[in-house]
């Protein structure tokens, strides 16, 4: 199935929705668009600040980037960050950095200095501060707020994104760049970008697959009364482009 672009509202402030028939087709399409964005920045001699999502969904995207874009993307121009991290060591099964290392970092020639991981093994409070300073050092600023070129986000079945869980909606009003949160079920400590930083980026892509996400996706995209309980519904860019990449299962209730 050729990916279809469905823009539910022709105003520029509304998200673009792309639906692909399978996770592979979806990840391939996102990989191509991401590579084009990176190359465009490189042609202007600009670095590209990219914050990655964690969890399981992006592993396929990372593998496709490594296999098909390993040499065509100018990785020396890319500065990699994470939208969130679990407060565990990098070798831990839960580590978002660890997952990215396996599927992408070990397979492409990105300079080690360009990899800005969250030190999940360190004291969470001190690491939140340290990571915020690293973000300030490497990102552009718009209205004095860090502005990433591109942020990849996932979506939880409870409507969380990054590690902004329901109950942390105030992280869309904070002055902080990143913050410490607790996973509501596991109580695992997490470090996450905050809402104002996410909303200040130039591009945000939600990559969402699977039937389990379909009702939350539909609530958010259709702005139902449930949407307000989902942190992901607060992702509304100040001046950038928001795009939802959905497979047929995740878009089934749209």
Count of residues that interact with ligand 6PG, criterion CB under 6 A: 15
> Backbone phi, then psi, for 68, in 5-degree steps?
-110, -15
Q: Using CB under 6 A, which of the segments 14-22, 62-70, 161-169, 241-249 binds ligand 6PG?
A: 161-169
Site for ligand 6PG in 96-135 (CB under 6 A): 96
The nearer residue to ligand 6PG, 88 or 110, going by C-beta atoms, is 88
Q: Rounded to the nearest whole angstrom, what is the least distance from the CB of residue 246 to ligand 6PG in the complex? A: 13
- Residue whose CB is less far from ligand 6PG, 18 or 161: 161
Per CB under 6 A, does 54 bind ligand 6PG?
A: yes
Stretch touching ligand 6PG by CB under 6 A, among 8-16, 60-68, 121-129, 158-166: 158-166
Q: Which residue is nearest to ligand 6PG (CB)?
A: 154
Both tokens of residue 17? Answer: 């929705």
Q: Which one of the spans 8-16, 159-167, 197-205, 245-253 is the region binding ligand 6PG (CB under 6 A)? A: 159-167
| Contact call for residue 53 and ligand 6PG (CB under 6 A) | yes
Q: How far is CA 144 from CA 94, 173, 191, 196, in A?
A: 33, 15, 21, 11
CB closer to ligand 6PG, 84 vs 149? 84
- Residue 55 interacting with ligand 6PG (CB under 6 A): yes
- Residues facing residue 51 across a β-bridge: 81, 151
Rounded CA-CA distance 212/50 in Å is 27
Distances (CA, A) of 76 to 24, 25, 112: 26, 27, 10
Per the CB < 8 A criterion, the answer to whether 15 and 227 are in contact is: no
Q: Give SS3 for 253.
A: coil
Alpha helices (H) in the chain, listed in sequence order: 23-43, 58-69, 96-100, 124-138, 195-198, 214-221
Torsions phi, psi for 23 (to 5 deg): -60, -35
* CA 253/CA 134 separation, integer angstroms: 40
Report the residue number, 55 or 70, with the smaller CB distance to ligand 6PG.
55
Choose the binding region for ligand 6PG from 26-34, 112-120, 131-139, 152-160 (rule: CB under 6 A): 152-160
Taking CB under 6 A as the criterion, the residue among 161, 181, 199, 200 binding ligand 6PG is: 161
Residues at the site binding ligand 6PG, with contacts judged by CB under 6 A: 53-57, 83-84, 96, 154-156, 160-163
């Amino acid at each position: 199935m050729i990916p279809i672009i469905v823009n539910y509202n022709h105003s520029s402030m509304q998200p673009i929705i792309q639906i692909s028939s399978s996770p592979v087709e979806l990840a391939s399409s996102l990989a191509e668009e991401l590579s084009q964005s990176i190359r465009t920045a490189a042609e202007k001699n600009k670095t590209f600040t990219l914050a990655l999502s964690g969890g399981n969904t992006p592993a396929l995207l990372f593998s496709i980037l490594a296999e098909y874009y390993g040499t065509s993307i100018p990785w020396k121009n890319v500065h990699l960050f994470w939208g969130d991290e679990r407060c565990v060591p990098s070798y831990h099964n839960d580590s978002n950095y660890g997952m990215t290392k396996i599927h992408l970092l070990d397979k492409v020639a990105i300079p080690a200095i360009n990899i800005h991981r969250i030190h999940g093994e360190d004291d969470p409070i001190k690491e939140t501060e340290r990571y915020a300073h690293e973000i300030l050092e490497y990102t552009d600023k718009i209205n004095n707020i860090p502005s990433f070129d591109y942020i990849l986000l996932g979506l939880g079945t409870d409507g969380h994104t990054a590690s902004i869980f329901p109950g942390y909606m105030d992280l869309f009003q904070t002055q902080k760049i990143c913050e410490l949160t607790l996973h509501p079920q596991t109580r695992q400590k997490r470090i996450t970008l905050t809402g104002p930083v996410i909303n200040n980026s130039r591009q945000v892509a939600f990559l969402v697959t699977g039937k389990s996400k379909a009702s939350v996706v539909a609530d958010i995209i259709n702005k139902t009364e449930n949407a307000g309980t989902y942190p992901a519904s607060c992702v509304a860019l100040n001046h950038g482009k928001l795009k939802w990449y959905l497979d047929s299962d995740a878009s089934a209730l749209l």
